[in-house]
Structure 1
Amino acid sequence: MSLSQLLRRPLVGRDGASVGRLSDVIVRLRGRDYPLVAGLVARIGNREVFLPIEQVTDFGRERIQLTSEVVDLRPFERREGEVLLRADVLGHRVIDVAHVELVRAHDLGLSPHPEGWIVACLDTGPHRLRLFGRSGAGSGRHWRDWKSCEPLIGHAQSARVRGPFGRVGRLRPADIADLLEDANRTESHEILQTVHADPELEADVFEELEPDSQTRLLKEKSDAEIAEVLTRMRADDAADAINDLPQNRRQPVLDALPAGQRTKVLTLMGFNPSSAGGLMALDILTASAGTTVTEALSLARAARTLQPEALTSIHVVREGNRLIGTVTLVVLLQARPDARLDEVMATEPVRVLPDTDVEDVALLMTDYNLLTVPVVDQQDQILGVITVDDILETVIPEDWRRREPAPHPAYRTDGGASAGPTRVTDLGG
């Protein structure tokens, strides 16, 4: 049955007398399981009352049959964990987790189940909202399995029963960032509430946001809350985020950062953002020339806090942290375990100064097929490293960013890796 065809349908008692009309359907969310219908909201005169689902004997095409004409006339009050399908979901946008997009629920499909009636699917077809059984001209239905979607209902009490992070928490940070950039203020607030339960995920999501969206969402947080997010971000991304904040908020946020992160951020803020110094990451893996291949691989294995993209190479240094060579992890894996780094490293590695323009860095990395490039001072002391993903984010033209995005890989919603769209049979009345 479709919800739009049920709404406003008359409710009749056992004797056939009219009791009222259906105003809404109440369900209880059950985490990854289909929502179970708990009852109905009936409009009787000018009041709305609750009818338990046990009082319904039949959902007919013309009317809804009740076991009795006697109903509790106390005004309806929503209980914790309850969701109203018409008020909370119908006409609102939901997240299609399988395809990572925000779609509008034009209708909802109810199906019988051994436990009772469940919400099985949503109609997200590209048509005008269907209400009370009336369809838009030329409309087409597109039913999606409920389990592939995450409703955005703005109701904290029911959100708690969806699980620690809901289905959204299983998406990649970049995918969640795309959703946030497409969401309105209310929707983005609920998505952020979901990812806030995992601070590391929240920081990764903010790193992936476009600068304008990142600033907009950070400005709605307190100084302490911004600092909490920036503490877990890479120092170069945190520095960019602070630079994009209003002037009067930068210092309070800096003061709220832990000392170590504050020092890194202030260092990076001292460089031009469009230079190698403003783009580099400060956390790098270095080793001395006498380190063996086995020891170097152990260092890489233990460097769990470093950006993975920066771990493609180990930088070989001598006294005063002066760079003398680099060695990639591939070379280390193929070398003799007892070999020293000065036997396998590339001498005179490509490197740049902090004031080098990012366009020049991009050309160097392209010419020499580099995944990372170290940044050094005039004395060859290593200061940081630039990764290819940071370069790409900087040099991709703005109009390229605004074009239609590439399709996302489909996600499975049953805990597996990926899947195509779910097919749901069209529903009758």
Structure 2
Amino acid sequence: MAPAVSEAVSLGPPAPADGARVIRLSELLRRPLADRGGESLGRVTDVIVRLRGADYPPVIGLVAKVNRRQVFIPIAQAASFDGAVLKLASAKVDLRHFERRDGEVLLRADVLGHRLIDVHAVRFVRARDLDLAQYGDGWVLRSVDVRRPGRLGSALGRRHAGRTSLDWAVFEPLIGHTLSASARGSAARIGRLKPAQIADLLENASKQEQQEILDHVHADPELEADVFEELAEDRAARLLDARTDGEIAAVLARMRADDAADAIGELPQRRRQPVLDLLPAGQRTKVLTLMGFNPGSAGGLMGVDFIAMPAATSVGQALSAVRAARTLQPEALTSVQVLDESGRLRGVATLVALVQAEPNASLAEVCDTDPVRVGPDTDMVDVAVLMADHNLITVPVVDGGDHPLGVITVDDILEATLPQDWRRREPAPPPSAGHPADVRGSAIPPAAREGRDGTPSEPGP
């Protein structure tokens, strides 16, 4: 079996403790092929691996051009890659035309020069070369070279200076490659990324890549909704427009009402009402309320899910309400709106104030009785200035009678005031400039030599 991939990742070319050999794909391609007696047969045109979930893909054979046709050479016949000519261990070659089987990946045709996702750095990179490592009697695909040749001054070149290859475990490979989708589905690592990271990938993905990423996140409806919340409104609308009304409504029903309202507002006019009609009643009411405000105003930015409690409520009861509000946006839970007997805003109690107060104290005793508040028509720039001046994480939005309508959180105002193309900009590198852990010294069992059907194979006669 191929060695299992650790969650740790490697820092460069594989250097197994047992001194296993490593050869680059570029060194194999177009290498002359000869029979056991040294007679020329043709040239190597590709290398075939089989995907094994999270394991390193074992090499199962080569594709060679022999007598003007592409033929399959089992890896057992290519016992050694030494020398300028690849000599076969068998005198016989099956001259039937090569046909790809399910789960087989051609490294030159499918991976080399194609885009992969570097899961650690959360970006698309291009495979410039591939490293094959020998373990026991077999070979596995061990690492990928992603450095751009001749561009050492580039950002990626600087990040990978001194290290040409990264462990295969770092990558989500073959994104958008339909022929291997079924073999890769169970081992996909995309679902482990944060929603904002997945949204960044979607912003930079091709149409095929987008579809596969969305297929992965669709398996987790909550993650899917979170991802659409993080997308730019126009991008979210374009991706949703490809779905049925029912499918769109299913996603929007799980999104925050303000994000759902933005997404519906970007849909073609003919699709808005049918989608609204399919939303759950509560979500539909919230979305329609938000769609009545100018998108650039406080009313258009606010979220309508927040905690508001009477001034006589105890601190302990307020904290229990915060603890139970698992469906609310976490940023909206950093404060509790305190109401008087008529439901008007009397004050705001921050979460810090609640945690530091005695449980039996009332909200009236711990709240700020003169909180900053804005009306629904307040311009978003004015909201941003107020929040910056007063160091606020949230600001309540109230009507003319001082009744709370919603809450604007700091992430809402940041997203609204950043440049429109902010998601398409080069992401900042993660805190660790490289890939943190090195698995080169870990114990890796030898890979068994396999035939095309997955069973062990022996060299030919």
- The TM-score by the shorter chain falls in which range? 0.7 to 0.9
Q: Does the 8 A contact of 2:218 with 2:224 survive in 1?
A: yes
In the alignment, which residue of structure 1 is the partner of 2:52? Answer: 30
In the alignment, which residue of structure 1 is the partner of 2:192? Answer: 170
In the alignment, which residue of structure 1 is the partner of 2:295? Answer: 273
Gaps of 5+ in 2: 1-22, 152-160, 442-461
Q: Secondary structure at the match of 2:132?
A: strand
- Tell me the distance in 2 between the aligned counterparts of 1:400 and 1:72: 55
Residue from 86, 100, 105 that aligns with 1:64: 86
- Tell me the distance in 1 between the aligned counterparts of 2:310 and 2:69: 79
Alignment of 1:295-374 (within 5 A): 295-319=317-341, 321-374=343-396
Residue from 165, 171, 176 that aligns with 1:143: 165
Alignment of 1:70-219 (within 5 A): 70-114=92-136, 116-127=138-149, 142-156=164-178, 158-162=180-184, 164=186, 166-219=188-241
- Tell me the distance in 2 between the aligned counterparts of 1:68 and 1:400: 59
Structure 1 residue 88, shift from structure 2 partner? 0.8
Q: Which shifted more, 79-88 or 250-259?
A: 250-259
In the alignment, which residue of structure 1 is the partner of 2:436? Answer: 419
Deviation digits for residues 113-169 of structure 1 (CA, Å, limit 9, x no counterpart): 23621111111221389xxxxxxxxx9983222111211343346334446462222
- Tell me the distance in 1 between the aligned counterparts of 2:363 and 2:231: 38
- Tell me the distance in 1 between the aligned counterparts of 2:54 and 2:70: 30
Q: Does the 8 A contact of 2:204 with 2:424 survive in 1?
A: no
Q: Does the 8 A contact of 1:317 with 1:323 survive in 2?
A: yes
In the alignment, which residue of structure 1 is the partner of 2:4? Answer: none
Alignment of 1:252-271 (within 5 A): 252-271=274-293
Q: Which shifted more, 73-82 or 32-41?
A: 73-82
Q: Secondary structure at the match of 2:56?
A: strand
Q: Which has the higher strand share?
A: 1
In the alignment, which residue of structure 1 is the partner of 2:316? Answer: 294
Q: TM-score, normalised to structure 1's length?
A: 0.87
Structure 1 residue 227, shift from structure 2 partner? 2.3
Q: Does 1:237 align with 2:262?
A: no
With over 3 angstroms needed to count, the CA separation of the structure-2 counterparts of 1:29 and 1:261, relative to structure 1, is: same
- Tell me the distance in 2 between the aligned counterparts of 1:272 and 1:79: 56
Structure 1 residue 21, shift from structure 2 partner? 2.4
Q: Does the 8 A contact of 1:176 with 1:205 survive in 2?
A: yes
Residue from 15, 18, 31 that aligns with 2:37: 15
Gaps of 5+ in 1: 130-138, 413-417, 425-429
- Tell me the distance in 2 between the aligned counterparts of 1:224 and 1:211: 19
Identity of aligned residues (%): 62
Q: Which shifted more, 10-19 or 282-291?
A: 10-19
- Tell me the distance in 2 between the aligned counterparts of 1:113 and 1:323: 70
Q: Does the 8 A contact of 1:231 with 1:257 survive in 2?
A: yes
With over 3 angstroms needed to count, the CA separation of the structure-2 counterparts of 1:245 and 1:61, relative to structure 1, is: farther
Q: Does the 8 A contact of 2:299 with 2:397 survive in 1?
A: yes
In the alignment, which residue of structure 2 is the partner of 1:39? Answer: 61
Q: Does the 8 A contact of 2:174 with 2:180 survive in 1?
A: no
- Tell me the distance in 1 between the aligned counterparts of 2:409 and 2:72: 59
Deviation digits for residues 276-296 of structure 1 (CA, Å, limit 9, x no counterpart): 111111111122222221111
In the alignment, which residue of structure 2 is the partner of 1:415? Answer: none
Q: TM-score, normalised to structure 2's length?
A: 0.81
Q: Secondary structure at the match of 1:201?
A: helix
Structure 1 residue 332, shift from structure 2 partner? 0.9
Q: Which one-letter code corresponds to 2:253 in the other structure?
A: T
With over 3 angstroms needed to count, the CA separation of the structure-2 counterparts of 1:30 and 1:8, relative to structure 1, is: same
- Tell me the distance in 1 between the aligned counterparts of 2:408 and 2:360: 30
Q: Which one-letter code corresponds to 1:2 in the other structure?
A: R
Q: Does 1:385 align with 2:407?
A: yes
- Tell me the distance in 2 between the aligned counterparts of 1:85 and 1:195: 26
Q: Does the 8 A contact of 1:353 with 1:376 survive in 2?
A: yes
The higher relative CO (CA closer than 8 Å, separation ≥ 6) is in 2
Q: Does 1:4 align with 2:26?
A: yes
Q: Which shifted more, 177-186 or 103-112?
A: 177-186
